[in-house]
């Protein structure tokens, strides 16, 4: 399946500012590499050749740090004029996608998963949208995703203050490119505003991965990410 990658890299990283002050959080150094380089390595392994980065905060730093190519991966940068949220960013960048499908990744999280297996599953089931899900012991920071026996997503549950186990949205999506136009124009959240409404209209399914997950959005997890990525280093 011919596929383009969209990497959401426009976040301001406010919660991480105490430890990463001079660059977007996706460029934060982790185990000797910018964090986003580990996502690029996964994309290369699955055969992707074109990745479009949605940039915003300190957008000018990306070319300086990453250049126009990472290995066999050609990089393209599309800057948001103002913060668009995850949904708005996907629609904004989607106008540059020329393939039938796209894989969308949150640039500040990582799952040690085989993305080729994920794409194959998506293609065989002919899903309109697929979400990668990861079971965790404490989902209180993220909220959870409910699926039925056929892996169809049935509900998105809000985060709760108490410690609760469940499947969380790992921030890696596969979708048909024709759906970009079905995302509202302007600022919106893919997770809160778009996907819940699509459950009634499209085949939205959840792929449960056994891979380990990390999100570097807060200082505690950023510090933990160095040891984490040493175990799964591909670059």
Query: Angle, to 10 degrees, between the axis of helix 36-45 and the axis of helix 115-125?
Result: 60
pLDDT of residue 234: 55
pLDDT tens sequence across 78-113: 999 899 999 999 999 999 999 999 999 999 999 999
Name the pairing type of β-strands 109-111 and 129-136.
unpaired
Number of domains in the chain: 1
Query: Tokens for 144?
Result: 């959870």
Q: What is the mean pLDDT of residues 2-15?
A: 90
* Residue keyed to tokens 């959401």: 8
Distance of alpha carbon 100 from alpha carbon 86, whole angstroms: 20
Query: Tokens for 235?
Result: 């670059």
* Residue keyed to tokens 């990306």: 62
State yes or no: pLDDT of 164 exceeds 90. Answer: no
Distance of alpha carbon 103 from alpha carbon 199, whole angstroms: 19
Q: Please give the mean pLDDT across all residues of the chain.
A: 94
pLDDT of residue 160: 81
Distance of alpha carbon 27 from alpha carbon 24, whole angstroms: 6
Q: What is the span of the domain harbouring residue 205?
A: 3-231
pTM of the model: 0.95
Query: Tell me, what CATH number does 74's domain have?
Result: 3.90.550.10
């Amino acid at each position: 399946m011919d596929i383009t990658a969209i990497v959401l890299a426009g976040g301001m990283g406010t919660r991480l500012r105490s430890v990463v002050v001079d660059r977007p959080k996706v460029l934060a150094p982790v185990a000797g590499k910018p964090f986003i380089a580990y996502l690029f390595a996964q994309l290369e392994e699955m055969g992707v050749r074109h990745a479009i980065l949605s940039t915003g905060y300190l957008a000018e730093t990306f070319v300086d740090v990453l250049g126009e190519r990472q290995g066999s991966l050609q990089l393209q940068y599309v800057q948001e004029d103002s913060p668009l949220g995850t949904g708005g960013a996907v629609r904004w960048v989607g106008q540059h996608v020329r393939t039938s499908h796209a894989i969308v990744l949150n640039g500040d999280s990582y799952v040690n998963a085989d993305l080729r297996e994920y794409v194959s599953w998506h293609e065989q089931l002919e899903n309109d949208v697929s979400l990668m899900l990861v079971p965790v012991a404490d989902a209180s920071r993220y909220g959870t995703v409910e699926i039925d026996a056929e892996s169809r997503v049935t509900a998105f549950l809000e985060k709760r203050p108490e410690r609760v186990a469940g499947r969380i949205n790992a921030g890696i999506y596969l979708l048909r490119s024709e759906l970009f136009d079905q995302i509202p124009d302007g600022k919106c959240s893919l997770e809160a505003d778009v996907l819940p409404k699509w459950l009634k209209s499209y085949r939205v399914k959840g792929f449960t991965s056994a891979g380990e997950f990390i999100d570097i959005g807060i200082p505690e997890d950023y510090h933990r990410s160095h040891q984490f990525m040493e175990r799964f280093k591909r670059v």
